[in-house]
Amino acid sequence: MRIGILGQPCIDEILQPGKRSPSAERALGGVFYSYAAMERLMRERGSEDAFAPLTWLSSPDREFLSTLLRKFDHMDRSMGLWSTDSLTNRVQLVYQEDGHRSEHCPHILPPLTRREISPDLLERLDGLFVNMISGFDIELETLEAALNQVTKRPYVHLDIHALVLGPLSQANSAEKFGGGREPRGVPDWKRWLAIADSVQMNEFEARWLPDPEIRSEEDLLRAIERMDLRKGPKHVIITRAARGATVYDMEAGDATHIPAPTMDALETTGSGDVFGSAFIFSIMAGMKPEDALREAVNWASWNTTLTSIEQILDTQILHN
């Protein structure tokens, strides 16, 4: 099987208390967590599966990005990694003395266009994981147009994470980092959901996605139930951090909750990206949604015991 992962990479610039330079600590983040999880999942399956990185590859950052890209044996580089002169997304993580942090994005890659995301490309995929990292990864109209023209439609799993974070701060320095990422409602939320077979969001995102039209998870689910199932997600997943996740079968009206295994969590960054890769991989491998949810919860929980993307590739897996 071949799964496309649509989302932008980012370089995290970590600013700890007392440090002035935005490049004091740099680490790859964003969709690279999804790549690493998909690579590991495909290795464990021991098959000829492949995933396609549907994103820009920044020429100025190519050397830094390629250090990790070279480690992905199951990555199909013939699909995606389109060259651009733009800088890779920069996400400044500004930590305060009390441990709280704010996020600011001084550089954002342009959205993919119809030239990159074409019907021909989508027809070569069995599954498509749309993992919104910046919130500007692709315009809705571009994705709708391509999906509406395909003869063989891939299974689409959508993570709406960055859609609700609002306009990104265009900060240029640690001293002038603006207001950060603030939540907002998504006016076209029904159209975004209509392109997906399954959709994931956390409890915070479920509250904000349909704001101000709807302001609660329960009312959001009722609204999705009223959507035409031919134009809406069959499964809605609400992730609940250490409490696990719930999948709602919109067709049958059933709900299944999977608790998270007990783990000694060290770092939660990237867990949603790992979750999405594990879920769509499991669905494409033929699992039922509730079994795919269990796999996703286990993989995301395991990710919290790691401290880098590289560890996803070579650390012993702590779940069945």
Three-class secondary structure assignment of 201-251:
EEHHHHHHCCCCCCCCHHHHHHHHHCCCHHHCCCEEEEECHHHCEEEEECC
Whole-number mean pLDDT of the chain?
Answer: 89
In the chain, % of residues over pLDDT 70: 90
pLDDT band of 23, cuts 50, 70, 90: very low
Q: How many domains are contained in the chain?
A: 1
**Beta partners for 199?**
158, 236
Instruction: Kindly state whether residue 17 falls inside one of the protein's structural domains.
Output: no
Identify any residues that bridge with 93 across adjacent strands, giving them in sequence order.
Answer: 14, 103
What gap in Å lies between CA 87 and CA 85, rounded to an integer? 7
Tokens matching residue 179? 């207001």
Distance CA 201, CA 175 (A): 32
The rounded Cα 181 to chain-centroid distance in angstroms is 17
Distances (CA, A) of 260 to 37, 125, 148, 169: 18, 31, 37, 33
Instruction: Note whether residue 102 is domain-resident.
Output: no
pLDDT for position 47: 75
pLDDT tens-digit readout, 107-163: 889 999 999 999 999 999 999 999 998 889 999 999 999 999 999 999 999 999 889
For 45-75, how does the pLDDT look when each residue is reduced to its tens digit (9 = 90+)?
A: 887 899 999 999 999 999 999 999 999 999 9
> 0.85 cut: is pTM over it?
yes
Residue 196 lies in a domain: yes
* pLDDT above 70 for 167: no
Phi-psi domain of 296 (left: phi exceeds 0; alpha: psi -120 through 50; beta: other): alpha
Please check whether residue 160 lies inside any domain of the structure: yes
Domain annotation covers residue 270:
yes
What is the DSSP pairing of strand 56-58 with strand 82-84? parallel
pLDDT (0 to 100) of residue 320: 54
- pLDDT, one tens digit per residue, over 295-305 is 999 999 999 99
104 close to 187: Cβ distance less than 8 angstroms: no
Give the pLDDT band of residue 30 (cuts 50, 70, 90): confident
Range of the structural domain that residue 150 is part of? 2-8+31-86+112-170+180-309
Q: Minimum mean pLDDT among 24-28, 74-78, 178-182, 225-229: which range?
A: 178-182
What letter does residue 164 receive in the DSSP assignment?
A: G
CATH number at residue 221: 3.40.1190.20
* Sign for the pseudo-dihedral over CA of 250, 278, 54, 22: positive
pLDDT for 180 equals 61
Contacting residues for 271 by C-beta, under 8 A, at least 6 apart: 300, 301, 303, 304
- Distance between CA 252 and CA 99 in Å, rounded? 43
Predicted confidence band at 177 (pLDDT cuts at 50, 70, 90)? very low
**DSSP result, 15-80:** E-TT---TTSSEEEEETHHHHHHHHHHHHHHTSS-EEEEESEEESTTHHHHHHHHTT-TTB-TTSS
Q: Is residue 47 part of a domain?
A: yes
Torsion sign, CA atoms 224, 114, 79, 202: negative
pLDDT score recorded for residue 24: 52
Name the pLDDT band for 230 (thresholds 50, 70, 90): confident
- DSSP assignment, residue 276? H
Q: Which of 273, 282, 272 is nearest to 1 (CA)?
A: 282
Residue 318 within any structural domain of the chain: no
Residue with tokens 């494409």, as numbered in its chain? 284
158 part of a folded domain: yes
